[in-house]
Structure 1
Amino acid sequence: MTDTASTPIAQPGLQSLSKSFEPAALEAHWGPEWEKRGYGVAGYRGTQAPKAGEPSFAIQLPPPNVTGTLHMGHAFNQTIMDSLTRYHRMLGNNTVWIPGTDHAGIATQIVVERQLQDQKVSRHDLGREAFVKKVWEWKEKSGNTITTQMRRMGDTVDWSREYFTMDDKLSKTVTETFVQLYEQGLIYRGKRLVNWDPILQSAVSDLEVESEEEDGSMWHIRYPLADDSGSLTVATTRPETMLGDVAVMVHPEDDRYAHLIGKQVVLPLCGRTIPIIADDYVDKAFGTGVVKVTPAHDQNDYAVGQRHKLPMICVLTLDAKINDNAPAAYQGLDRFVARKKVVADLEADGFLVEIKKHKLMVPRCARTGQVIEPMLTDQWFVAMNKAPTLPPTGGSLPPEGANFPRGGPSGNSAVFDQRSIAQKAIDAVQSGEVRFVPENWVNTYNQWMNNITDWCISRQLWWGHQIPAWYDEDGNVIVARNEAEAQAKAPGKKLRRDEDVLDTWYSSALVPFSTMGWPTQTDSATDDYNLYLPSSVLVTGYDIIFFWVARMIMMTTHFTGRVPFKHVYIHGLVKDAQGKKMSKSEGNLLDPVDLIDGIERGPLLAKRSEGLRKPETAPAVRKNTEKEFPEGIPAFGADALRFTFASLASLGRSINFDSKRCEGYRNFCNKLWNATRFVLMNCEGADCGLQNGIECDAATLDFSQCDRWIVSLLQKTEADVAKGFAEYRLDNVASTIYDFAWNEFCDWYLEIAKVQINTGTDAQKRATRRTLIRTLETLLRLAHPIIPFISEELWQKVAPVAGRAGPSVAIAAYPISQPERIDEAAIAHVAKLKALVDACRNLRGEMNVSPATRLPLYVVAQSAAEGAFLSASAAVLQALAKLSEVKLFADEAAWATAAQSAPVAVVGEARICLYMEVDVAAEKARLGKEVLRLEDQITRANTKLGNEAFVAKAPAAVLEQERKRVAEFTDALAKLREQLTRLG
């Protein structure tokens, strides 16, 4: 780790601060600088080894695919994680954010195979070993795109701990867990129905299947009764699968068909007789109420077949052609060609009753776009609801609570737990060891976990963790950690290794402990395993609760006896400004780096038009892009993008991203930049009540109520920000910082400070400067987790002037609220001052007077205290309300005489008016017309409200609106009459 104590900081002061905020230069400097200094490395404030006794904070990055590029979901998710990490690092926790990438079995294999296709070579031409070597070569050359982009976002992960799920260390953990699960009777091989991609010729997980509504047909087919007494009409959207039908079913309570249950029908085109069965799965109201049963080609039918012990007839080959189990006329035909022939033959033979247009959800592989087939194949599974047994060497099952060896060769041990893998994960959430934020996601988790089926973990690919199983000549399975161990278990036998690889989600599920040294961890208190497992929070989208979150909980609790993380923060998914899912196929993707750097219209159109699943949508994509970004995307910078993401990080289900919000937060960065220039201009080289970084005697400082007010607001802001971080409400953190920085500090206090510096005593000026520089320095630390680049650049200039030493804001102490510094009297003082300024501005608006025109303010106070307040606030009030003078009257009659016809406002105990010479006759005429208009409006409204028929029929909202109009008109009329009275 770099010794940051000797690392020089940037040159402080105004002279080294550019006149305008240009994010590109800051990002290019500070991103690499943070990494060089080692601020992301696990430890205490990023600069020391873990400190015993300090709280730990750890985050596991959901590993993006090695084939991927940074998309908006990644950028949003990582903004949350980096903000949390920076916050806890500045708090002084033992902090680490662990990065890594997933080997992405299917996606990566497809990428490399396509490259080979361009060379007119297939993976089969190369052979498995050579192909895997090619994949590794691709990974080393092109597989780090996303980590480069993460650096652009300012992510302070611990790059020294970066992993790849195919690394040797993680691969050994994969093998070890597989062997242990097998030895415990929890992994088995069997023939089950799985999602099958005929192009990949592999099983795929549910996550890799996208179901989209498409236009289709519903074919109604007549199935004759075997006794020639009639027929049943069956509706299907996949007529080719009827070649594998083994039954038809009806609902047991459907009176139309009750007399037919147990009889037989003849399967058209095949001639086989199949039974009529009854099952609650059938929806009596859908279609004809009769459903065909094809257990080998439909997930629901598979469950029916299991319940009724029906045979399973598979009629498709692995490449989705009709196989030898179907009649000869269809054998060898592609599934969709066979569909046409089946329909034609049904019509020719008189079995086709009708064809109806039908909208249906078609499952397609997200990687290849191919329609998925449920396929009955031999696969490896993890048993989810079975109690584990001891490894073969462990002897008989011990009593509950006893210890048994669990770490394989390493000799680690843990308490033997007889609960199933699924039950441990359910109990971990039920007990509160794992807490979901928001809590409603617990219901989603429990619903899936309580209905979980065994997990298919094998894939028919070449890229991935090859399953550590071998077969001897007799077909016996030998599971071992390596070939030598397998051979030792089968001496003298010729072994063949299983060609399948493990599901990518299997290795990802192990990340919480495979990255922490399991199974070779030590007992040291500062060992990664003991320091960072469980991690503090998992930040992820709701779309992978089942695929990753649940599996991490299952595997970690099973192998370590610990939960993988304490909190699961589930955020929404990023959609476009219209609420549509962002996807390449839709042509509405936004690249986070384009938002940072900017991109011209032409290249943006090209990017969005590339890879459209439906090329015919290209004109619409172009039109929408030109409408949304007629001149391309301007450069917003990473900080503005991060602030936008933070502001959107509510607890909702989706985030509609509008790039216009980036513009607003880019303006915020500009505002902060200019405010810093102002503060440095007034504080650098001036007396700020500091000498050699040490505060001077308090007697030399005379803090005003406004100084005390901004400090009080800062304490409240710090408390609200801490609450926001604790509750994972980064939207509240962002809005709190924004409101304080823009509305309170910049718009109000800086303007007040100008007056105090220009008109105050030396002690007052000194106190104002101290407040300015200290508040700004604290604000920069407060904002750093959200906007790291600009806060670092500005802090480097401000911190030395504020008397705060340190090499970087990234490792400075995070501001902690000090409630004892909250001065409610000062808060009330400024609230009254603001009310006066606002009243003056409103009066100016009523009089249609330009803000550039300075008018005198005439004020009469009703008490001595109010008079003292007005006298003390006159200079600030004059500057903020743009007044020529503030004239205080002790006598109301004298004030009224002086005010004459000017509009009046009441603020607290004071009556005020902005004085301006007016043409009395013209003003009386104008006011008279306005009085008549309002009287007429009031009469009309009262007439309506007095009409019983109108009141009886009108909606409540309309009546309330009319009553509100009467009240508003009456109030305005009273003010006008008072004004007319004063005019005489």
Structure 2
Amino acid sequence: MTTNNNTNELATTYSPADVESKWYKQWESGKYFKPKKGKANKSFCIIVPPPNVTGKLHAGHALDITTQDSLIRFKRMKGYETLFLPGLDHAGISTQSVVEKMVFEKEKKTRRDFTREEFVKKIWAWKEEYGNHILDQQRAMGASCDWDYLTFTLDPIPNKAVKKFFVDMYNKKMIYQSDYIVNWDPMLQSAVSDQEVDHKDVAGNFFHIKYAIKGSDETLEVATTRPETLFGDTAVAVNPSDERFKHLIGKTAIIPLCNREVPIIGDEHVDLEKGTGCLKVTPGHDFNDFEIGKRHNLPIINILNKDGTLNDICLEFKGLSTKVARNVVSKKLDELGLLLDKKPHTHPVGHGERSGVPIEPMVSKQWFVNVNDMSRRAVVAVENGDMKFYPKEWENTYYSWLRNPKDWCISRQLWWGHQIPVFYCDNNHQWASEHNDTECPTCKSTKVHQDPDVLDTWFSSGLWPMSTLGWPDEKAMEEKKFHTFFPTTVLVTGYDIIFFWVARMMMMSLQTQDQVPFKDTYIHAIVRDKLGRKMSKSLGNGIDPFDMIAQYGTDAFRFALASGAGYNRGINLDPDRIGGYRNFINKVWNAFRFIYPHLQAGSAQLTDMSKLDHHERWILAELNTTTKVMNDSLEIYRYDEACAAVYSFVYDKYCSWFIELSKNILNGDNAAVKLQRASVLKFVFRKILALLHPITPFITEELWSQLKEANEDLLIAQDYPEYDKALEFTQDQDQMNKFVEVVTSIRNLRASVNIKPKDEVNVELFTDHNELVTYFRANLVNFQELARVKSLTVGNKELNRPNKSIVNITTHTEVFLPLDGVIDLKDQIQRLEKELAKTTADHKNYEARMNNEKFMANAPENVREEVKQNERELREKIQSIQENLVQFKG
């Protein structure tokens, strides 16, 4: 915080909370987030992947917002007409589950105790009260969205889009109704998608059951984990190549307990190596069996009620849950001598993501989209480069589903969502309509009712790039500038929904607009804990973004996320690392506090480049290089490279070197030189703030308010720095960077033998580069100031090296620090010999682990890599100590 924009009184410590709330309000009230035409004369649009209305900001959301908002701010400063479009997803299953639980806890009622209209009204009330919290959390992350565009998937325009798309596809016979096997959640009593199923390992058994063969003394041994499903068996399958059973193909098996006669069929799905070689086929309750049933035209028998209990087909076992029935049926089989064996077996079982109960594969009447033609077009669009993946490797994940598509089940047996726009009359006519029809178009009957099911949430989400921009309502499209912002520019999302969302948006956009919905798809990494583990409640390793913001500030949190975001698959987020970037933010603050008193007279522009001295040309060239790297990196979503470049420049070049080299000048008596240096400091720092702004918007806007001219706008509206040929000073850059490298080597050598900071040392440099010999000799005063060098000898590599010295060799210079008379060599030799013994012992420990085949085979990958790295570093350290001992004993 500052006390006055016209004074140099800044708080000694940066206070993120005060700065963040202040500037976000000013940006929003000043309408800085609204699209405005700029010098680029191009549009740039990112649509926020709509979080669930039930959602709470987690680390993945924080990464989403950081990467998206950094791009938006970058392009806004580049002069693009930018739109960052926010939204919320109604999240059918999730939201209905939350409200059902709340109603039961408060009123001890289920949704079945209400009419559909009454219960949906309760959900809307809950949404209005609690459903927008995540939007406030996005604001806290600095999201510069145009909130006037905020769209909810159940808003009138998205609802209109859903109806139009459905009806058009229905009339083209690309949406149809059919009996098909789905994931059935018995608690929700609805079909759910694959993504809404969690697979958990469950301890169970393999039950070996004897099936009789009609007209034969032979029997078949069938192994199953679910004996209760035998009431739905419609065949027994064997592999046609299995010599044990191929003679039985075409005969009839008798299902135990219900005594149903079914054919014995040959199918190559049956594994020759695993199990008994005989497979009970239950097409109504197993996905693989359903496919076998289709190949052999088998009947389908449903044995379950919607709540997951056995139905009337299951004789005396009806009404039992599948879990209870499993034991009761197996006990009955045992009593009848039909249970041959029971072996413990742990296997993965699908559970409802929201309900937590085991999923039942079940055939039921559902609505489907025929995606064959749409998926083909979506593949071609990526093959042709109309839409590009970053990183490119994610194309393969995208292709893997679209090249082998399955028709998409779009119906859900819920009350919350887009109700399917299909109508029926009492005369069995069926039609689809975009309107709430009250009369049958065929027979004119007024006894009309709408299909009770709602659409899969992904159906409305698939239309999101179009519906958020007003499609299909022409007036809304004009108001929301559809033709300016569609196709949108980039989608930023995680790899886990490439199937579920990216592919569907591609298909539905190509179907409705004959265009891709976005030009690029950037697949960001998944945020994991510091050990690389997935964050979960059970591990207790989750990171709450608001804890991080409260502790470190939003800018530090954003920088930590961005610095790990590139083309990698995971970001191991360590709070200590965020703390390190808080130190960086504080470094920027403190650097400004130090230089600010000197900047009052300085100019914001460089007017006479001919007057620049060597160090000024160097820092401007380094700034120019950093500017190029940041521009190039952000264009291709390499946030990690952009962050690394600006961090290194600010911390290592500007603060550690240029400010240090400026202190004597700023405190000197030469007014012209002081003014020149102050102008360069000011010019570069202003550019630093602009470079950092997309990633760390709050502190940069705060400091810009101290630096900007009276007629200048906020930093959010400034131009982003561009590479400038006028700032190319190649020789200065090369020489100064080599000087920095040599001084750093001297400092490290001093520290390695504990020479006190105030003590002066002699240094000898050897290089074959004649221009460096001249340059180093001319910089004696800088060596004295920055490395406490008393005397400096510079020569070529043919000269003799000093004995009893320590050395560091760079790519261009050998740096020798003679120790005779500077330290007690005897004590130093003893210290190094002691350190050598300890390092050797540590090295043997890691070497033994590397040579232990069992350890290397079973240890986690990150542990193996750590062992290898430690072994390598210790080996190099041993070599370095040995070389120093030879020098000291010389």
TM-score where L is the length of structure 2? 0.89
Kindly tell me: are residues 818 and 918 of structure 1, through their superposed partners in 2, closer, same or farther at Cα, counting changes over 3 Å?
closer
User: Given that residues 521 and 529 in structure 1 are in contact (C-alpha distance below 8 angstroms), is that contact kept between their aligned partners in structure 2?
Assistant: no
1:913-950 Cα distance to aligned partner (Å, 9 max, x none): 5788469xx7589879999999xx99xxxxxxxxxxxx
Does the alignment pair 1:15 with 2:15? no
Q: 1:337 to 1:969 in 2, by over 3 A?
A: closer
Taking the aligned partners of 2:524 and 2:872, their CA distance within structure 1 comes to 39
Among 341, 345, 353, the alignment partner of 1:366 is 353
Partner residue, 2:552: 636
CA distance, structure 2, for counterparts of residue 166 and residue 861 of structure 1: 72
Tell me the SS of whatever aligns to 2:552. Answer: coil
Partner of 2:25: 32
192, 201, 204: which is aligned to 2:192?
A: 204
> In structure 2, do the counterparts of structure 1 residues 132 and 852 end up closer, same or farther at CA, with 3 Å as the change threshold?
same
1:213 and 1:360 in contact (8 A); partners too: yes
Q: Deviations over 1:64-88 (max 9, x none)?
A: 1001111111111111111111111
Say which SS state the counterpart of residue 259 (structure 2) adopts.
coil
- Which of these residues, 319, 334, 343, is aligned with residue 347 of structure 1? 334
Q: Distance in 1 between matches of 2:187 and 2:828?
A: 82
Please give the alpha-carbon distance, in whole angstroms, between the structure 1 residues aligned to 2:717 and 2:224: 64
Following the alignment from structure 1 to structure 2, what is the Cα–Cα distance between the partners of residues 424 and 511?
19
Matched residue SS, 1:717: helix
The equivalences for 1:210-229 within 5 A come to 210-229=198-217
Distance 2:652 2:5 in 1: 27
Quick check: 1:648 aligned with 2:560? no
**In the superposition, relative to structure 1, how do residues 923 and 785 fare at CA in structure 2: closer, same or farther (>3 Å)?**
closer
Shift of 1:860: 10
Cα distance change on mapping 1:257 and 1:92 into 2, 3 Å: same
SS state of the match for residue 312, structure 2? Answer: coil
Is 1:43 the counterpart of 2:36? The answer is: yes
Q: CA deviation digits over 1:400-423, x for unaligned, max 9?
A: xxxxxxxxxxxxxxxxxxxx2222
Distance in 2 of aligned mates of 1:746 and 1:133: 59
Out of 713, 738, 742, the position equivalent to 1:836 is 742
**CA drift at 1:273:** 1.6
- Call closer, same or farther: CA 1:965–1:789 in 2, change over 3 Å: closer
Q: How far apart, CA to CA, are the structure 1 residues paired with 2:803 and 2:406? A: 85
3-state secondary structure, aligned to 1:329: helix
- Tell whether 2:384 aligns with 1:431: yes
Q: Distance in 2 between matches of 1:583 and 1:168?
A: 36
- Name the % identity: 39
Offset at 1:842?
Answer: 3.9
Counterparts of 1:415-814 in structure 2, within 5 Å, are: 420-484=373-437, 487-488=440-441, 490-521=443-474, 528-597=481-550, 635-683=551-599, 685-686=600-601, 688=602, 690=603, 702-759=611-668, 761-800=670-709, 805-814=711-720
Q: How far apart are the structure 2 equivalents of 1:933 and 1:475?
A: 90
Cα 1:317–1:769, aligned 2, differ >3 Å: closer, same or farther? same
Q: Is the Cα contact below 8 Å between 1:88 and 1:95 reproduced in 2?
A: yes
Cα deviation, 1:416-445, whole Å, max 9, x if unaligned, reads xxxx22222122112111111111211111
Question: Are 2:86 and 1:86 equivalent residues in the alignment?
Answer: no
Q: CA deviation at 1:754?
A: 1.2
Match of 1:134 among 110, 122, 130: 122
C-alpha spacing 1:932/1:504, structure 2 compared with 1 (3 Å): closer
Question: Structure 1 residue 56: deviation in Å?
Answer: 1.5
Q: Which runs of 5+ in 2 are unaligned?
A: 841-867
Structure 1: gaps spanning 5 or more residues: 1-8, 46-50, 386-419, 598-634, 939-955
Cα 1:873/1:483, change in 2 over 3 Å: same
Q: Is the 8 A contact 1:931 1:976 kept in 2?
A: no
Deviations 1:503-538 (A, max 9, x none): 111111001111122223489999722211111111
Distance 1:842 1:737, change over 3 A: closer
Deviation at 1:858?
7.8
> Which digits, 9 at most, give the CA deviation of each residue in 1:91-130, with x for residues without a partner?
0111111110001111111111122112123323331112
Q: Residues 437 and 926 of structure 1: is their aligned pair in 2 closer, same or farther, counting only changes over 3 Å?
A: closer
Of 239, 244, 250, which aligns to 1:251? 239
- The whole-number CA distance in structure 2 between the counterparts of 1:87 and 1:890 is 46
Contact persistence 1:17–1:797 (CA under 8 A): no
CA distance in 2 between partners of 1:216 and 1:335 (Å): 13
Q: How does 1:839-850 map to 2 (within 5 A)?
A: 839-845=745-751, 847-850=753-756
Task: Give 1:30 deviation, angstroms.
Answer: 1.3
- Decide which of 255, 261, 267 is 2:255's aligned counterpart: 267
Q: Look up the SS of the partner of 1:562 in the other structure.
A: coil
Report matched runs for 1:824-973 at 5 Å. Answer: 824-845=730-751, 847-855=753-761, 869-870=775-776, 872-883=778-789, 886-887=790-791, 913=817, 917=821, 923=825, 972=884
Letter in 2 for 1:126: F
Distance 1:18 1:71 in 2: 32
TM-aligned CA distance change 1:906 to 1:312, over 3 Å: closer
Quote the Cα distance in structure 2 between the aligned partners of 1:963 and 1:42.
58
How far, CA to CA, are the matches of 2:174 and 2:66 in structure 1? Answer: 39
Alignment coverage as a number of residue pairs:
856
Q: Could you tell me which residue of structure 2 aligns to residue 624 of structure 1?
A: none
Deviations 1:151-181 (A, max 9, x none): 1100011111000000111111111111111
Q: Give the TM-score, by structure 1 length.
A: 0.81
User: Are 1:715 and 1:817, in contact at CA under 8 Å, matched by a contact in 2?
Assistant: yes
- Using a 3 Å threshold, how does the CA distance of structure 1 residues 580 and 861 change in structure 2: closer, same or farther? closer
Residues 168 and 10 of structure 1, relative CA distance in 2, 3 Å threshold: farther
CA displacement, residues 606-650 of structure 1 (integer Å, 9 cap, x when unaligned): xxxxxxxxxxxxxxxxxxxxxxxxxxxxx1111111111111113
Please list the CA deviations of residues 696-734 of structure 1 after superposition, one character each: whole Å capped at 9, or x if unmatched: 5556xx322111111111111111111211221111111
Counterpart residue identity of residue 96, structure 1 = L
Q: Does 1:306 align with 2:294?
A: yes
1: distance between equivalents of 2:488 and 2:80?
A: 13
* 2:62 is the counterpart of 1:75: yes
CA apart distance, 1:868:
5.5
1:295–1:305: 8 Å Cα contact kept in structure 2?
A: yes
Once the two structures are superposed, what CA deviation does each residue of 1:587-609 show, in whole Å capped at 9, x if it has no partner? Answer: 33222112111xxxxxxxxxxxx
Partner residue in 2 for 1:377: 364
C-alpha spacing 1:912/1:207, structure 2 compared with 1 (3 Å): closer
Whether the 8 Å contact between 2:665 and 2:673 is mirrored in structure 1 is yes
Matched AA of 1:975: Q
Distance 2:813 2:872 in 1: 32
Partners in 2 of 1:175 and 1:768 — Cα distance?
66
Structure 1 vs Structure 2 CA RMSD: 3.4
